[in-house]
Chains A and B, each alone.
Chain A
Amino acid sequence: MKEFGDRGSPIEVLLVEDSPGDVRLTQEAFAGTNSSVHLRVAGDGVEAMAMLNDGSPDSAALRPDLILLDLNLPKMDGREVLAHIKANDRLKTIPTVILTTSEAEADIVKSYQLQANCYLSKPVALDAFEDLVKSINEFWLTKAKLPPQSEPD
């Protein structure tokens, strides 16, 4: 278990999002809320899986503390990314939060079936979006106990 903030260790958050506007809003909302958050961005599903998997040519595999995943993504869809994460023993314990504009019941149910940790829909209004990012920070990064980086034996 990591004691976030206490030791000043950064909290690694992977945002999988293709909309530059939403990326920027998320970055700004985290920057205004929690300076320990280190936000990385993958612009599509293939890039997200490359960052998470070994075999990425230029860097070691990333193991974020939290993943924020959009559903509608180019190249590889968010549902497929989610299925890959939850089928992988090394990655499946990483809390994966769906953050999407879709409010379709079918998307919500499918995401929980694929073992998304929770489903949030992006509000259209700017301050509501900012407020939601703050809620994510408040709940997942201060209240919830996140899994340790390396699995204890």
Chain B
Amino acid sequence: MNRINRALDREPFLAAEHRRDTHEEFKRLNENFRRGISDSLAGGLSESAQQIVVRKETMKTIGGDGVPIEVLLVEDSPGDVRLTREAFRDANSSIHLHVAADGVEAMEFLRRQGIHTQAPRPDLILLDLNLPKMDGREVLAHIKEDAGLKTIPTVILTTSDSEVDIARSYQLQANCYLSKPVQLDAFESLVKSINDFWLTKVKLPGQRNGA
């Protein structure tokens, strides 16, 4: 009896230790997961493995209450991806955040090509301007020239606050331009504003009729 009690007493500590290990492991997996997507883009993963990767992404929040809101974040900075993910998670549990790390992957996601054949149509796109492989301006131009994609609200989210970038983005029919604050809590507050305005107040085009 005493031995069991002692074991139970120790249990919280064990659990905490276990949680920390799991957390570290999870972080590592997460990083590997992103790298895995890049590798698989270069043909590093088998077809079936690619399907698993895609399914893992799409299954994450579906099954919660209500219909998930599909958001595509096009962002190459892992730090900004993580901050955005965390801020959305705190703000709105219905959001299903997909990440494309460069412009080429973003277009593959939107056109359901490569590893993204099962990709959903995003309800909202958050697009960085300075991206590897294909620049955000070019991604924006492609989206707004495509009759099937142009109705998806596309919000520029970038560190640049140069007038040239702002004017150019609105010329290319970006729906809105936001510049990323350097401060952590200001960044978090901006993501919450995106949620409050775009995903709560704004009427988004329906998935069925949007194309």
Chain A hits for B201, CB < 8 A = 120, 132, 135
In the complex the two chains form, what is the Cα distance from A152 to B144 in whole Å? 22
Q: Which of A41-49, A75-83, A101-109 lines the interface with chain B?
A: A101-109
Q: Which segment, of B16-24, B28-36, B84-92, B190-198, faces chain A? A: B190-198
CB within 8 Å of B: which of A110-152?
112-113, 115, 117-121, 132, 135, 138-140, 143-148, 151-152
Pairwise interchain contact A148-B163, C-beta atoms closer than 8 A = yes
Q: Which residues of A contact B58 (CB under 8 A)?
A: none
Tier of interface size on chain B: 20 to 34
How far, in whole Å, are A147 and B164 apart by their CA atoms in the complex? 9
| Interface residue from B167, B193, B196, B206 paired with A148 (Cβ < 8 Å) | B167
When distances are taken between beta carbons in the complex, the residues of chain A under 8 Å from B171 are 92-93, 151
B161: which of A92, A95, A143, A145 is its contact (CB, 8 Å)?
A: A145
Contact at B176–A117, with CB atoms within 8 Å?
Answer: yes
Q: Does B170 contact A (CB under 8 A)?
A: yes
Q: Is the CB of A139 within 8 A of B193?
A: yes
B170 touches A152 (CB 8 A): no
Residues in A with CB closer than 8 Å to B175 are: 117-118
The answer to whether B166 touches A1 (Cβ under 8 A) is: yes
Size of the chain A interface, CB-CB below 8 angstroms: 32
**Contact, CB under 8 Å: B193 / A143:** yes
Q: Are B163 and A119 closer than 8 Å at their CB atoms?
A: no
**Which residues 58-96 in A have Cβ within 8 Å of B in the complex?**
86, 92-95
Residue of B nearest to A93 (CB): B170
B205, A139: Cβ atoms closer than 8 Å: no
Please tell me if the beta carbons of A86 and B193 are within 8 angstroms of each other in the complex: no
Per the bound structure, the CA–CA distance linking A115 and B170 in Å amounts to 10
Chain A residue, CB-CB nearest to B156: A145
User: 9 new A-B pairs (CB below 8 Å) besides A112-B152, A113-B150?
Assistant: A105-B205, A112-B150, A118-B153, A118-B176, A120-B201, A120-B202, A143-B178, A143-B190, A145-B166
7 pairs, CB–CB < 8 Å, chain A vs chain B: A1-B163, A119-B203, A120-B203, A144-B178, A145-B166, A147-B166, A147-B170
Across the A-B interface, the 5 shortest Cβ-Cβ residue pairs: A93-B170, A112-B151, A139-B197, A147-B170, A119-B203
